[in-house]
Amino acid sequence: GAVVSQHPSWVICKSGTSVKIECRSLDFQATTMFWYRQFPKQSLMLMATSNEGSKATYEQGVEKDKFLINHASLTLSTLTVTSAHPEDSSFYICSARGHAASSYNEQFFGPGTRLTVL
């Protein structure tokens, strides 16, 4: 299957700083990338959808000025958490989807990034 990587895998930062998380599709071109957050023992909640070269579409309740998403190439999307606060501590997961010839256009998930804000 296709491989999606995330970097860093975990990060600890001080309150008020900004953190950038990278999501890369390693062996396919991702026309669409998705960013999720997951709190302990809860499901994945979609934050935003981004298509290469265009602005991200944010889900209701997600602050676009706080969670900046860039999808500048077909293999890289970044999520920047600006002015992070302890309540932003969570597990952030990206997924990527390319063009598929099969009947189901699968999303491939990255391994996740654990963010802890002190």
Contact in structure between 76 and 20 (CB atoms under 8 Å): no
Tell me whether residue 18 or residue 39 sits nearer to other proteins (CB atom). 39
The 5-44 contact track toward other proteins, x by CB under 8 A, reads -x---------------------------x------xxxx
Locate 31 and state its tokens. Answer: 């026309």
- One character per residue 67-96, x = contact with other proteins (rule: CB under 8 A): ------------------------x-x-x-
Residue 29, number of CB atoms within 10 A of its CB: 12
Report how far residue 13's alpha carbon sits from residue 31's, in angstroms, rounded to the nearest whole number. Answer: 31
The Cα 36–Cα 14 span in angstroms is 22
**Which window, 11-19, 68-76, 82-90, 110-118, contacts other proteins (CB under 8 A)?**
110-118
Residue 98 is a binding residue for other proteins (CB under 8 A): no
Q: Does 104 bind other proteins (CB under 8 A)?
A: yes
Q: Which two tokens stand for residue 53?
A: 């070269």
Residue 4 sits in the site that holds other proteins (CB under 8 A): yes
Report strand pairing: 4-7 vs 19-25. Answer: antiparallel
